Structure 1
Amino acid sequence: MSILAATGLAKEARIAKRVGLKPAIGGGSSELLTKRLDEAADGATAIVSFGIAGALAPLLRTGDAVIGTHVVAGNEHYTCDAAWSQILRSKLAYSRPAIIAGVDEVVSHIGAKRALFRDSGAHAVDMESHIAARFAKQHSLPFVVLRIISDGYQRTLPPAALEPLKPNGKPRLLAVLKSVAGDPEQIPELIQTGQEAGKAFRALLRCSRLIGFGLGCPYLG
């Protein structure tokens, strides 16, 4: 029996392991995440979309914890498990319930964030929740979302932060350096992005520890 954690980044996966989750890393690829979840399906009891996210709603700030109520992706609509979500909310009294938009491409520009907020009604966005939700529906598994806000709704990410990840969820450092060399004016924004991500990762670890082993999943038997 295992609880799967759908993640995009290696750092997210490391935190997931510390609370007994079995991470599947997508590295920013919907296809790869789907494949890795399918490979881990045997023995899975439940699944959580776990990691950092971008804010779409103005009320959300870097470091805020959001617990999904629903996941939307285009015309798709998924409801998160109510009982497990309530456990998460009870452990994280300061968390916010949120509709999560799942996307296949990074939503990096403030204009795109505003459009997605307007069109979907979602409060936050990531690249894994819709994949996890589809997997949960396919395998009849309970599903929740625990995400920490990294970039705020008014933030446009710099080009270096958008370089594709390695399949293991780690950054391609050479590509990042080349991007910076070609456009050094992005350095202040890149530093800010790194600081925001660091704050989000620390909050993710803190929240995970507060919730405890298995993220309080009530379906472990």
Structure 2
Amino acid sequence: MDTTPPASPPAMTAPIGVVTGLTSEVRALSGVPGLAARCLGPGPDKAEAAARALLADGARALVSAGICGGLDPALVPGSIVLPARVINRHNPEQTWMVDAVWHAAVMAAAPTDLPPFQTGALMGSDRAVGSVEGKHALAARTGAVAVDMESHAVARVAEAAGVPFLVLRTVADTANDVLPPWIAGVLNRDGSPNAAMAVRRMLAGPWRVPALVRLARRSATAERALGRAAPVVFGADRTG
């Protein structure tokens, strides 16, 4: 039997730089040592700016962390996605592999009281994928299990800088959930919630209330899962 211990992630002498798109994701990661989180808002442009700022501040590795949308119908709210690679939705031949040693170490350290980490490909998209039909089409065309709007941008920055890169995402909306276009209006540009706008949207269209409540609950489930999974990723021995 092979008794070789699992490899440790790459040695890092500065905190891991973590890019999120929502301020609530930063809160979910609070209290985890060894990381510096930066949120400038959702989307690839802000994610790229946040990643570059973290590197300028001394980060020696980058992680894209937060919630995501499921493309695989088997994924439920709170499913944990630790993809081995990221695919660019707008150029599917462009892919980025995460750091293999780091990824393997996290998988080896995953506790049994968490759901199994899903390692299928993550799709990076410049815009939200809101329709069920669109989600199913992307899954069929690319084989990706989930989608977000930041990981491909962080991957580009990490590749250019030559630093280790990893993704930790947890599912909020599933492959069979619709993300209505108006939902984007309940967020400020910096990724913080806009409660006043949410109330206005509900007053203007009371039929929107069930969808908003359902999505809020599923996002909360995903963020709790993110908080539980984060110590496995960021707490692993990084002195190897």
Deviates more, 1:185-194 or 1:22-31: 22-31
1:109-159 deviations in Å (ceiling 9; x for gaps): 111111221222211001111011001101001111111111110000244
Runs of 4+ in 1 over 4 A off after TM superposition: none
Q: Pick from 104, 109, 114: which aligns with 1:86?
A: 104
Check 1:185–1:192 CA distance in 2 against 1; reply closer, same or farther (3 A cut): same
Check 1:154–1:90 CA distance in 2 against 1; reply closer, same or farther (3 A cut): same
Q: Distance in 2 between matches of 1:18 and 1:168?
A: 21
Question: Post-superposition shift, 1:164?
Answer: 6.0
Structure number with the higher strand fraction is: 1
Alignment partner, residue 124 of structure 1: 146
Alignment partner, residue 30 of structure 1: 44
Question: Post-superposition shift, 1:178?
Answer: 2.2
Q: Which amino acid aligns with 1:83?
A: V
Alignment partner, residue 173 of structure 1: 195
Q: Pick from 143, 160, 168: which aligns with 1:146?
A: 168
Q: Distance in 2 between matches of 1:184 and 1:165?
A: 19
1:185-218 deviations in Å (ceiling 9; x for gaps): 1211111111111111111111123x16x34263
Q: TM-score, normalised by structure 2?
A: 0.84
Q: Pick from 60, 67, 77: which aligns with 1:52?
A: 67
Asked if the contact 2:19–2:154 (Cα under 8 Å) also holds between the matched residues in 1, the reply is yes
Indicate the RMSD between aligned Cα atoms, in angstroms.
1.8
Asked if the contact 2:42–2:190 (Cα under 8 Å) also holds between the matched residues in 1, the reply is no
Question: Post-superposition shift, 1:96?
Answer: 1.4
Q: Distance in 2 between matches of 1:13 and 1:34?
A: 17
Matched, 1:16 2:29: yes
Q: Distance in 2 between matches of 1:161 and 1:90?
A: 37
Alignment partner, residue 207 of structure 1: 229
Q: Which amino acid aligns with 1:216?
A: A
**Unaligned stretches of 5+ residues in structure 2:** 1-13
Asked if the contact 1:67–1:147 (Cα under 8 Å) also holds between the matched residues in 2, the reply is yes
Q: Which amino acid aligns with 1:89?
A: M
Q: Pick from 200, 208, 213: which aligns with 1:191?
A: 213
Asked if the contact 1:158–1:190 (Cα under 8 Å) also holds between the matched residues in 2, the reply is no
**Unaligned stretches of 5+ residues in structure 1:** none
Alignment partner, residue 2 of structure 1: 15
Question: Post-superposition shift, 1:160?
Answer: 4.5
Alignment partner, residue 72 of structure 1: 87
Question: Post-superposition shift, 1:161?
Answer: 2.6
Alignment partner, residue 61 of structure 1: 76
Alignment partner, residue 216 of structure 1: 236
What secondary structure, in the 3-state scheme, does the structure 2 residue paired with 1:36 have? Answer: helix
Q: Distance in 2 between matches of 1:48 and 1:54?
A: 18
Q: TM-score, normalised by structure 1?
A: 0.91
What secondary structure, in the 3-state scheme, does the structure 2 residue paired with 1:122 have? Answer: coil
Percentage of pairs with the same residue? 30
Q: Distance in 1 between matches of 2:51 and 2:174?
A: 29
Asked if the contact 1:54–1:149 (Cα under 8 Å) also holds between the matched residues in 2, the reply is yes
What secondary structure, in the 3-state scheme, does the structure 1 residue paired with 2:65 have? Answer: strand
Asked if the contact 1:84–1:217 (Cα under 8 Å) also holds between the matched residues in 2, the reply is no
What secondary structure, in the 3-state scheme, does the structure 2 residue paired with 1:166 have? Answer: coil
Deviates more, 1:21-30 or 1:40-49: 21-30
